[in-house]
Amino acid sequence: MVKDRIENITNRIVSGSATIIAVIALATGVYQARLSRDQAKASVWPYLVQGNSSNNGYSRIIQNVGLGPAMIRGFEVLVDGKPTRNWTDAAAKLGIRPSWRGKRSTTFRAGLVVPTGALIELLNLPDTADERMIRGATAHLQTWVCFCSLYGDCWENRSDDLAPKRIKACVDDPTRRFVE
């Protein structure tokens, strides 16, 4: 009777220990899987920055300084917070009439992918009166871009933000879309 009782207690201790070890092993596996997923996400993290460049003229630029490609989901050019359709419309809303002589621009829209390290000149003007007019009005000019990583994590960035802000999803509003 005492022997059966000791054997019963021993079996319960062994069973309980095996259960605890199994739970710890499961928790460790889940934790390692989460770390692996986070590391994989970090290895393809895009990071878009925006600004103005003044190398022999004026350029409005976007650059991917992150670790992975940025999938563009939305892009807008705004003047005093109001969307514009193209650079000519933006200039009109800025109250300027450039000649656009020597102008170069890049089509930038939802659906494009910006590779790591890529620098995109949205607008480039040579050192002319046009460049001086645009540069004088940049305080009223803003660009907004929404982009996602390969894993579907999304951020938005306005040209006057210091860093992209994480968001749940991008919304590309066709009525606000820049189409140049």
Contact, 170 vs 156, CB < 8 A?
Answer: yes
Distances, alpha carbon 17 to alpha carbons 1, 28, 30, 125, in Å:
24, 16, 20, 73
Query: How many Cβ atoms from other residues are within 10 Å of residue 88's Cβ?
Result: 14
Closest among 73, 76, 71, 106 to 175, alpha carbons compared: 76
Q: At residue 55, does pLDDT exceed 90?
A: no
Task: Find all residues with CB under 8 Å of 150, minimum gap 6, and list them.
Answer: 44, 68, 69, 71
pTM of the prediction? 0.78
Which residue do the tokens 């969307």 mark? 83
Chain centroid, CA 164 distance in Å: 6
Distance between CA 45 and CA 64 in Å, rounded?
10
Cross-sheet strand order for the sheet of 119-126 = 48-53, 57-64, 119-126, 104-105
- What's the pLDDT band for 123 if we cut at 50, 70, 90? very high
Query: How many Cβ atoms from other residues are within 10 Å of residue 131's Cβ?
Result: 20
Distance between CA 85 and CA 22 in Å, rounded?
60
Highest average pLDDT, of 43-47, 116-120, 134-138, 158-162, comes from: 116-120
For position 167, what pLDDT does the model report? 96
Distance between CA 146 and CA 46 in Å, rounded?
11
For position 38, what pLDDT does the model report? 61
| Tokens (6 digits) for 159 | 């040209």
129-136 helix and 87-94 helix, angle to the nearest 10 degrees:
70
pLDDT in tens, 32-54: 767 666 666 566 789 999 988 87
